[in-house]
């Protein structure tokens, strides 16, 4: 018996050692980078190209604190595991990336590792940036090193143990991350492949438009099937579902218009997507917007799993209450039949955003308002005021339920409890 226990113990130790070696090799292996910071200034054309790519990747949004210097970091990024603070990526030698080489920067994008080899937290979406090509990575680096150096020390992350440790991060990466290149599909035209690169790589759309598990991981970084954005109470709808945000039946021009201006005859962007349009996609070249549209339009469509005949009917008292609230607060803009006003207020009748199974976005908009981005193509968009101080949780639930049950809309009612929980989590 003792001999058996000894054998088992040795086997367990060997398995643990092998697993540890695997985790180490997958995260801390590789050659040491000895390149120093470049001494010559980058070419003007390279800087301009890098600036464009930084727009496409929306880098400044995360790496700039509100009211702070561009790319100097400090913005708090809330996660279920604590707060990560964006780093300073200006060319300051002490607090930024002024001592980095192009090879260090490429490794950060492709492998998620800092100059000293330290593992980076995947709030920085290297799980998608790993697909950025080497020439594009070099152009991004040359743009960043052309910026004014800002001396601003990086803030220490505030993460709970063990999520604050490199060991835990190494295990996470072993489970969820593999460095990979964007592979061209030879059966598809160049325009489709360019769109795939922008959506799946540089634009990292899947960072929001895919579900995450309890550890914040995504099994497939190319998944675009929708998911709740952690800590924000916004649902990024599926880009492959005709009942959510799929665009297979849209025209290419309508998709381009939405990405360029934030609004089109088929829909309007709000919440986090409004920030994407405001800071990124409105600045993209028409050819790149068209490439993204071609790729998104060609995504395989996922079937709906909701049968309208099975939608539960709301209580008559709730519908009556919701109807009165709608007439008082909503009908002036959205119309008594939910028809909306073209170019100003979106219709609610037949609006798939209204009928999403996940109602987080509706609750967010009613409580906190809905504001499309002000863009060059739509400089003065019409917004929606917040009703958090006007409506109770029961009122919000009733008016949403009324809208989801009227004008041939068929969607499940919303409970007062779900509104209360969302309002409380937003306060926190």
The verdict on residue 181 lying in a domain is no
Which residues of 352-426 form beta strands (DSSP E)? Answer: none
Lowest mean pLDDT among 3-7, 70-74, 175-179, 300-304: 3-7
Confidence check: pLDDT of 26 > 60: no
Domain termination site, one of 121, 152, 176: 176
What pTM value is reported for the model?
0.89
Residues 320 and 249 in one domain: no
Closest CA relative to residue 286, chosen from 333, 317, 309, 253: 253
**pLDDT at site 15:** 41
Structural domain count of the chain: 3
Do residue 317 and residue 279 come from a single domain? no
Q: Is residue 272 part of a domain?
A: yes
Annotated binding site for heme c: 59, 62-63, 205, 208-209, 330, 333-334
Pairing of strands 158-159, 227-229: unpaired
Is residue 207 included in any domain, yes or no?
A: yes
Residues ≥6 apart with Cβ < 8 Å to 130: 109, 110, 111, 112, 177, 179, 180, 181, 201
Q: List residues forming the annotated binding site.
A: 59, 62-63, 205, 208-209, 330, 333-334
SS3 383: coil
Cβ atoms of residues 125 and 44 within 8 Å:
no
Domain match, 171 and 48 both: yes
pLDDT tens digits, one per residue of 160-205:
999 999 999 999 999 999 999 999 999 999 999 999 999 999 999 9
316 and 227 inside one domain:
no
Q: Are residues 165 and 218 in the same domain?
A: no
Q: Which domain holds residue 356?
A: 308-427
321 shares a domain with 244: no
Q: Which of 176, 204, 236 is the last residue of a domain?
A: 176
Same domain membership, residue 133 and residue 83: yes
Cβ 382 vs Cβ 344: under 8 Å: yes
The secondary structure of 21-75 as a DSSP string is HHHHHHHH-SPPP------SPPPHHHHHHHHHHHHHHTHHHHHB-TTS-TT-B--
The pLDDT tens digits of the residues spanning 120-157 come to: 999 999 999 999 999 999 999 999 999 999 999 999 99
389 and 290 in a common domain: no
33 CB burial (10 A radius; 0-12, 13-18, 19+): middle
Residue 10 in any domain: the answer is no
User: Which of 271, 297, 323 is at the close of a domain?
Assistant: 297
Structure tokens that stand for 391 in this block: 């409506």
Q: What is the pLDDT of residue 300?
A: 92
- Tokens representing residue 11 in the block: 């086997």
Q: 344 with 404, same domain?
A: yes
277/315 same-domain check: no
Query: Would you say 148 and 90 are in contact if contact means Cβ atoms under 8 Å apart?
Result: yes
Task: Tell me: do 282 and 332 sit in the same domain.
Answer: no
């Amino acid at each position: 018996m003792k001999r058996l226990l000894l054998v088992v113990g040795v086997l367990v130790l060997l398995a643990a050692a092998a697993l540890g070696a695997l985790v180490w090799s997958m995260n801390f292996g590789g050659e040491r980078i000895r390149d120093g910071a470049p001494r010559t200034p980058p070419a003007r054309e390279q800087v301009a190209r890098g600036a464009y790519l930084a727009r496409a990747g929306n880098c400044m949004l995360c790496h700039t604190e509100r009211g702070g210097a561009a790319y100097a970091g400090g913005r708090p990024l809330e996660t279920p595991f604590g707060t990560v603070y964006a780093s300073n990526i200006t060319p300051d030698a002490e607090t930024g990336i002024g001592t980095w080489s192009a090879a260090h920067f490429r490794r950060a994008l492709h492998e998620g590792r800092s100059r000293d080899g330290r593992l980076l937290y995947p709030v920085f979406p290297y799980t998608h940036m790993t697909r950025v090509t080497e020439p594009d990575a070099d152009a991004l680096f040359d743009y960043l090193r052309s910026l004014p150096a800002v001396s601003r020390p990086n803030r220490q992350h505030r993460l709970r143990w063990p999520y604050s440790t490199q060991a835990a991060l190494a295990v996470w990466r072993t489970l969820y991350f593999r460095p990979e290149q964007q592979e061209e599909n030879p059966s598809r035209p160049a325009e489709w492949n360019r769109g795939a690169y922008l959506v799946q790589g540089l634009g990292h759309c899947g960072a929001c438009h895919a579900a995450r598990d309890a550890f914040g991981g995504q099994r497939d970084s190319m998944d675009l099937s929708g998911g709740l954005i952690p800590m924000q109470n916004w649902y990024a709808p599926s880009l492959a579902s005709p009942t959510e945000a799929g665009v297979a039946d849209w025209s290419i021009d309508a998709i381009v218009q939405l990405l360029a201006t934030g609004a089109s005859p088929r829909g309007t962007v709000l919440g986090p997507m409004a920030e994407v349009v405001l800071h990124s996609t409105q600045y993209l070249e028409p050819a790149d917007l068209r490439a993204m549209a071609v790729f998104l339009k060609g995504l395989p469509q996922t079937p709906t799993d909701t049968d309208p005949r099975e939608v539960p009917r709301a209580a008559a008292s709730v519908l009556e209450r919701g109807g009165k609230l709608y007439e008082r607060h909503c009908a002036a803009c959205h119309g008594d039949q939910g028809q909306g006003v073209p170019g100003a207020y979106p219709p609610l009748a037949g609006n798939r955003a209204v009928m999403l199974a996940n109602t987080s976005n509706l609750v967010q908009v009613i409580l906190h308002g809905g504001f499309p981005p002000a863009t060059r193509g739509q400089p003065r968009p019409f917004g929606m005021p917040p009703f958090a101080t006007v409506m109770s949780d029961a009122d919000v639930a009733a008016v949403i339920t009324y809208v989801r049950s009227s004008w041939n809309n068929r969607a499940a009612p919303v409970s007062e409890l779900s509104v209360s929980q969302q309002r409380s989590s937003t306060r926190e």
